[in-house]
Structure 1
């Protein structure tokens, strides 16, 4: 284990790790997934799963391509799909969005936004959710993004606060919170009766800082800014929907009294993922009454490029094992289910050698659910379609950010199939 893992866990405050609040009532609608202690349950039976990520699915123009993708997922044993429930643009982008048939749900021209419910808007998300139900796939739907991509937190900040601003104003500015909740209520009210929804997710990878804006003095280790926001927003979503599960979408950074450390350039460095600098506090957040299960993400190569070099005594594989074990230990003490919601390694060789080790650790140690980033689909009917930024459908293949895995990558694909078979054996 990394330095201080067990010592820090044992030193956690008891209040943050109290018993999970039992909330689920006996009148949960049929087909809705719930929690049962440290596991998930569907209609009174265990629900263990392998899932995947496909943020791009609602961006597809072709309904046939949506269907073929979900059919491929079902054939591979995927039971849960995580995708974006947000896509926002500035008014200055509207002409290009119209010309390129870009999916968008929010249009910003002032300190408020307009909803696009048309065929280029929420009707595309409608179809994804309807199609997922046909293929018995549940959806984790994310409300917004910490990052700039597809209209995240800083779009709210830029329009409502303007310059100068810090990224953490997204969590504390009343006008921003109001506009966020207005969008959340739109999405929740639209799909709250659908059994295809696995859970609502408050934000993708919330941090004190973002792509362009730094964090402010009110969002720092120990400030509790993100934990308070998680509490307030999960309570708000619960007020709208008493039945669907809610989670954070966080990367799972810790705030330990004795953070993990590592040596770099002859200096002992306090580890960002353990010292609270991100603003996350996985232990306290997981204890919130309306956060039903834990999520965490894992990208060692991009998080620690200064340590990932030939001859280093630091390894991608071992960091992943330690990161998995730290989250499992916390989830065990809190008594809630756990999902490794995103994980990835760059390079086919790394995927084929490291993924089996990570997946086995997660499945065997806690029976945790896994969701690799990201699903790759081939032979789409859209040969070339610019989505946004550098993302595109190219020659019938979905975007490849280096982490995508495709059906023709047999060794990686079989890791997913084998894990899905294990989880199926644990389900009712």
Structure 2
């Protein structure tokens, strides 16, 4: 889930397929768990805010055309691609009016609140829970997808201001997090139709040296704040920071069937693994550690929502997942591996992801849009025989977009402690001047601490108190404040 870029598609849709993927009644569709399942309909696998996506029998990215936008010329992908026309978010002039400040009895004024990672989070064979130094460890925290490369402030994909990085990390600490999930740090491929020159791996075996510093710094700084990191390694979709279609494009491979060649074409897979290898072997000059030997990194996630919401795609084959796990393990025996599929159970077809059966997968994951206690209860039970830790890697925290209350959702998760972790989507802080919140328009942006509606602020406090409980810390009665700017280092 990212910003609401305009979507387009070739509309010559197969009528039967179109009926399966009808998004016209999306809101009721998302909350239709209790209703009778309609034949052949994937009730769950539609992320929110994709209402303008149109299914077509024309393969995604099978064709390109040139369109002239107000900002200049851009290459437009075919069905399923995101519109690159808005390729630049101008930096605001020095603001004259700032958002209201927030102070509290407890303020995060720098690093040192949490112990810095020095050992690795592990999972013992047969356990469902993770452990750190022999004690159970429950993953909690926010997604901060933009923290390495942003799309909301400055040129799309440009490297995030380090002051904003430090504030975001301090926000995570204030919220009670022990872990953060960072898409744009782990996923940085292609050029997004030629509009993003900042990505780490812009072409086949090409690497942008300038792109390393922000990753090195974010990982180092997260460790200084006592946080651990989950790094997804690719994305099911073609976003500004890249995804699986880049590796298909690098090899001029067949993009049909929702990019299935990403899983079946050996050359495409080799390009992906080569990119993963660059991350594993990278030596971070800020701390002298390779990424493979850095305890700040908690887990590698094979991808984000792999399988996605196009029915024909389903989940990656186990052969692909096994090969990725084997490749990572050859360079890295320290870190956990998350199966980055779009859930592992489909309540319409009752199908289960093959990743459940891969021994090297430590954690299975799903994303909660909308919140659904019945679904996660089923998934919790499904994961048990496989001794997998269950991570709700993204979920809706708001008051308006799910019919089930956040309190009930979090209470159920707490009843499963320490076997289930949760990471909310998604946190935003201030601009580089510490003046106004950087805005994002997917409907799930959490502007900490005081940039949300009054109703949503109440949910923020519920979320924060939940994370403090999950990490066995004293429960705050009000939101902990964050100094902005944070001290530079």
TM-score, with normalisation over the residues of structure 2?
A: 0.62
Please show how residues 235-250 of structure 1 align to structure 2 within 5 Å.
Answer: 235-250=326-341
1:198 to 291, 298, 306: 298
Q: Count how many residue pairs are aligned between Structure 1 and Structure 2.
A: 333
1:404 aligns with 2:451: no
Matches within 5 A, 1:160-239: 160-162=251-253, 165-166=256-257, 167-190=259-282, 191-207=291-307, 215=312, 225-239=316-330
Paired with 2:376 and 2:296, the residues of 1 have a C-alpha distance of: 28
Please give the TM-score of this superposition, normalised by the length of structure 1.
Answer: 0.71
DSSP-derived class of the 2:294 partner: coil
Write the distance in 2 (CA, Å) between the matches of 1:239 and 1:165.
31
**Aligned-pair CA distance for 1:165:** 3.5
What is the Cα deviation at residue 54 of structure 1? 1.0
The structure-2 alpha-carbon separation of the partners of 1:398 and 1:128, relative to structure 1 and needing over 3 Å to count, comes to farther
Q: Distance in 1 between matches of 2:416 and 2:192?
A: 49
- Consecutive unaligned residues in structure 1, runs of 5 or more: 5-28, 261-270, 301-316, 384-394
Pick aligned residue for 1:360 from 411, 429, 442 = 411
- 1:42 is aligned to 132
Q: Per-residue deviation at 1:159?
A: 3.2
Aligned to 1:414: 461
Give how far 1:70 is off.
0.3
The worse-fitting range, judged by mean Cα deviation, of 417-426 and 197-206 is: 417-426
Query: Aligned pair 1:75/2:163, yes or no?
Result: no
CA, structure 1 residues 225+152, in 2 after alignment: closer, same or farther (shift >3 Å)? closer
Whether 1:86 and 2:137 are equivalent positions in the alignment is no
**Aligned CA distance change for structure 1 residues 352 and 417 (closer, same or farther; 3 Å):** farther
Give the 3-state SS of the residue equivalent to 1:155 in structure 2: helix
CA distance in 2, matches of 1:344, 1:153: 25
Select 1:33's aligned residue among 114, 121, 126: 121
Residue 421 of structure 2 corresponds to residue 369 of structure 1: yes
Q: Distance in 2 between matches of 1:360 and 1:130?
A: 33
Q: What are the ranges of 5 or more consecutive residues in structure 2 without an aligned counterpart?
A: 1-32, 37-116, 150-158, 283-290, 475-489
Q: Could you say which residue in structure 2 is the equivalent of 1:11? A: none
- Aligned equivalent of 1:151: 242
In structure 2, what is the Cα distance between the partners aligned to 1:51 and 1:352?
A: 23
Question: Are the counterparts in 1 of residues 417 and 470 from structure 2 also a CA contact under 8 Å?
Answer: no
Match of 2:101 in 1: none
Secondary structure of 1:127's aligned partner: helix
Richer in helix (by share): 1
**CA-to-partner distance for each residue in 1:248-271, whole Å, 9 max, x for gaps?**
12221426xxxx4xxxxxxxxxx2
Query: Using the alignment, how far apart are the partners of 2:222 and 2:145 within structure 1?
Result: 14
Deviation at 1:45, TM superposition (A): 1.9
| Cα gap change, 1:182 to 1:325, in 2 (>3 Å) | same
State the shift of 1:46 in Å. 1.9
- Deviation at residue 86 of structure 1 after TM alignment: 1.5
Query: How far did 1:90 drift?
Result: 3.1
Q: Indicate conservation of the 8 Å contact 1:62/1:381, yes or no.
A: no
Aligned twin of 1:18: none
Residue 3 of structure 1 and its aligned partner are, at CA, apart by 9.6
Residues 356 and 386 in structure 2, CA contact (< 8 A), matched pair in contact too: yes
Q: Following the alignment from structure 1 to structure 2, what is the Cα–Cα distance between the partners of residues 334 and 91? A: 38
Among 222, 227, 232, the residue aligned to 1:137? 227
Residue deviations 1:273-329, cap 9 Å, x none? x454xxxx33x42231110111111213xxxxxxxxxxxxxxxx5xx0111101110
CA RMSD of aligned residues (A): 2.9
Correspondence 1:328 to 2:328: no
SS at match of 1:425: coil
State the distance in 2 between where 1:35 and 1:415 align: 29
